[in-house]
Amino acid sequence: MPHTGQLLNLQTPDGRLLPAWAAIPEGPLCGAVVVLQEIFGVNSHIRAVTERFAARGFAAVAPALFYRLAPCDTLGVELGYSDADMQQGRQLKAQAEALPPPGMAQDVGTAVDWLATTTGQKVGAVGFCWGGLLAWRAACSLPQLSAAVCYYGGGMTGPEERSRQPLCPVMAHFGRQDHFIPVDTVLAFDQVQPQAQVFVYDADHGFNCDQRASYDDASALVARDRTLAFLDTQLRT
Enumerate the active-site residues: 129, 178, 205
SS3 17: strand
Task: Classify each residue of 96-117 as buried b or exposed e, where b means 16 or more C-beta atoms within 10 Å of its C-beta.
Answer: beeeeeeebbebbbbbbbbbbe
CA–CA separation, 176 and 26 (whole Å): 39
Q: Are the C-beta atoms of 68 and 107 separated by less than 8 Å?
A: yes
Q: What are phi and psi of 70, to 5 degrees?
A: -155, 80
Q: Are the C-beta atoms of 60 and 50 separated by less than 8 Å?
A: yes
DSSP β-bridge partners for residue 126: 35, 149
Instruction: Tell me the residue ranges of DSSP E strands in 79-143.
Output: 123-128
Q: Could you say which DSSP state residue 41 is in? A: B
CA–CA separation, 210 and 203 (whole Å): 13
DSSP β-bridge partners for residue 15: none
If one counts every other C-beta atom within 10 angstroms of the C-beta of residue 43, the result is: 22
